[in-house]
Amino acid sequence: MENAVRSADKSANAGLVQKGIKEALFAALISFGMFVLYVGLKTDQNISNELVIVQRWGLLAIFVAIAAVGRFLTVVFLRPHLDARKLAKARSGELDISTEKGFFHTHFLKIALIALLLYPVFIYAVAGPQGSLKWVDNFGIQILIYVMLAWGLNIVVGLAGLLDLGYVAFYAIGAYSYALLSSYFGLSFWVLLPLSGLLAALWGVILGFPVLRLRGDYLAIVTLAFGEIIRLVIINWTDLTKGTFGISGIPKATLFGIPFDASAGGFAKLFHLPMSSAYYKIFLFYLILALCMLTAYVTIRLRRMPIGRAWEAMREDEIACRSLGINTVTTKLTAFATGAMFGGFAGSFFAARQGFVSPESIVFLESAVILAIVVLGGMGSLTGIAIAAIVMVGGTELLREMSFLKMIFGPDFTPELYRMLLFGLAMVVVMLIKPRGFVGSREPTAFLKERKAVSGSFTKEGHG
């Protein structure tokens, strides 16, 4: 009997290995077809300013080998392990989510907030004033901007169920509102921050009116067109926006009127500190962190209010929502306005941080990245979206530091040029392993006697 079982296992393993080899060869063929024109061949200019084709077959072979080996390991080892794990859970009757929470899971948000508050101080102490600039700016402020944008879009997409592909337009409205009003009228950052959000919310209502009867793909097309219209207006209205040249010399934010410059009343001289631009970056870090906390607080409070319940009801079934007497017109308009307002806040902060805005910062790719972060994190989950932003945005920024990859792929390999390729690959991997996002479960706002988290496996699109 044991010999029969062993022989059956050997034949099963042999069949699995054979299947893995076949799929690995198939993956190698597909990757070759995808990357031959993108990686294997490269256009360049020679000394005579002529366009020439550079062949990089060695680099292409490495990409193909990685795809083949990865597919083989997935078929032979990873997938059987995951299937066996699911089968064991099903037989034992274990739920997809655990009802018992450990210390880290219970206090995760508090630990994360404390870590964020100490992050600039720790980096400044370790790397010094100049060394901390990169880590505070690129890996701190940049990630938090995308966290705030994704949380704002989460109100429209995750809570209200309205697919918005032109969200970057509100980001642009906030940025250009701050840039123009501060340049022409001399208004301060603290006045223009709420004003930019209100202007973006007004445009959110303007967008909401034409799309009241649209859903799904049609809504996505209209919002995409809205984003492109805003971008084209900014490019062509050169008398006001200076077109593709952008607006430079935008005034910086101040700390209660204290500027971050080298003047006698500047921050460094006032507190008897050595001159460094790190103080302004640290100030901006805490400012965008406060804006993110404001976004999260407002989102959580709105979810518990009748308007938040109306958003979630409309997301699940708009017809049933109307039958219950909910005014879907005001529900949609408030969702668009609220999400647009936070996009305007982020845009005005971006303009103050950069000191320069141009149409290059408001392309459709930015909307796609923000939407991808919302989907990958788990629609409706603030924690999951924040994790997705850290992984995706931080991961792409980390590519700039991976110069050691040139030892593997050759001296001409530039890692940051492949950030969108790796971004897409990461999306595919995450969607295969966690199809409902990083956080597929969520505790409901309305409950009877006891609050229980609902697994994403039992809900539509994992909303919870």
Query: 441 falls in which pLDDT band (50, 70, 90)?
Result: low
Tell me which residue of 434, 448, 441, 430 sits closest to 464, measured CA to CA. 441
Is residue 313 within 8 A of residue 335, CB to CB? The reply is no
DSSP string, 177-245: HHHHHHHHH---HHHHHHHHHHHHHHHHHHHHTTTTT--HHHHHHHHHHHHHHHHHHHHH-HHHH-GGG
DSSP 462: G
Q: How many residues are given for the chain?
A: 464
DSSP 99: S
Say how far apart CA 83 and CA 266 lie, in whole Å.
62
Task: Give the residue-averaged pLDDT of 247-269.
Answer: 81
Q: Between 409 and 1, whose confidence is greater?
A: 409
- For residue 237, give every residue at least 6 positions away whose Cβ sits within 8 Å of its Cβ, in sequence order, or none: 243
**Range ranked top by mean pLDDT from 116-130, 191-205, 256-270, 447-461:** 191-205
- For residue 63, give every residue at least 6 positions away whose Cβ sits within 8 Å of its Cβ, in sequence order, or none: 31, 35, 39
Cα angle: 144, vertex 147, 148; to 5 degrees:
90
Compute φ and ψ for 255, nearest 5 degrees. -100, 95
Task: Give the residue-averaged pLDDT of 146-166.
Answer: 90
Q: Give the pLDDT confidence of 15-40 residue by residue, as tens digits.
A: 788 888 899 999 999 989 888 887 88
Q: Between 355 and 426, whose confidence is greater?
A: 355
Angle formed by the axes of helices 382-398 and 278-304, nearest 10°: 150
Query: 463 falls in which pLDDT band (50, 70, 90)?
Result: very low
Q: Give the pLDDT confidence of 317-353 residue by residue, as tens digits.
A: 888 888 888 888 888 889 999 999 999 999 999 999 9
Say how far apart CA 18 and CA 355 lie, in whole Å.
59
Mean pLDDT of the chain: 82
- For the record, the structure tokens of 66 come out as 């990685």
The pLDDT value recorded for residue 259 is 80
Task: Give the residue-averaged pLDDT of 83-108.
Answer: 67
Handedness of CA 247, 249, 251, 252 (dihedral sign): positive
Handedness of CA 408, 414, 417, 423 (dihedral sign): positive
Say yes or no to pLDDT of 76 above 80. yes
Task: Give the residue-averaged pLDDT of 288-305.
Answer: 92
Task: Give the residue-averaged pLDDT of 271-296.
Answer: 88
Say how far apart CA 252 and CA 188 lie, in whole Å.
9
Say how far apart CA 461 and CA 448 lie, in whole Å.
23
The lowest-confidence range among 41-50, 134-143, 247-256, 418-427 is: 418-427
Say yes or no to pLDDT of 447 above 80. no
Say yes or no to pLDDT of 450 above 80. no
Q: Give the pLDDT confidence of 97-143 residue by residue, as tens digits.
A: 555 566 666 777 888 889 889 999 899 888 887 878 888 988 899 99
Amino acid at residue number 309: R
Query: 461 falls in which pLDDT band (50, 70, 90)?
Result: very low
Q: Exposed e or buried b for every residue in 392-429, given b needs 16+ CB within 10 A?
A: bbeebbebeeeeeeeeebeeebebeebbeeebeebbee
Say how far apart CA 427 and CA 445 lie, in whole Å.
29
The pLDDT value recorded for residue 200 is 93
Q: Give the pLDDT confidence of 202-231 residue by residue, as tens digits.
A: 999 988 888 777 777 888 888 889 889 999
The pLDDT value recorded for residue 452 is 59
Query: 360 falls in which pLDDT band (50, 70, 90)?
Result: confident
The pLDDT value recorded for residue 257 is 79
The pLDDT value recorded for residue 3 is 59
The pLDDT value recorded for residue 55 is 84
Compute φ and ψ for 55, nearest 5 degrees. -90, 130
- For residue 441, give every residue at least 6 positions away whose Cβ sits within 8 Å of its Cβ, in sequence order, or none: 96, 97, 453, 454, 455, 456, 462, 464
Q: Give the pLDDT confidence of 372-399 residue by residue, as tens digits.
A: 888 888 877 888 889 888 888 888 888 7
The pLDDT value recorded for residue 462 is 40
Local structure of 247: helix, strand or coil = strand
- For residue 407, give every residue at least 6 positions away whose Cβ sits within 8 Å of its Cβ, in sequence order, or none: none
- For residue 29, give every residue at least 6 positions away whose Cβ sits within 8 Å of its Cβ, in sequence order, or none: none
The lowest-confidence range among 227-236, 258-267, 289-298, 385-394 is: 258-267
Say yes or no to pLDDT of 250 above 60. yes
Compute φ and ψ for 235, nearest 5 degrees. -70, -40
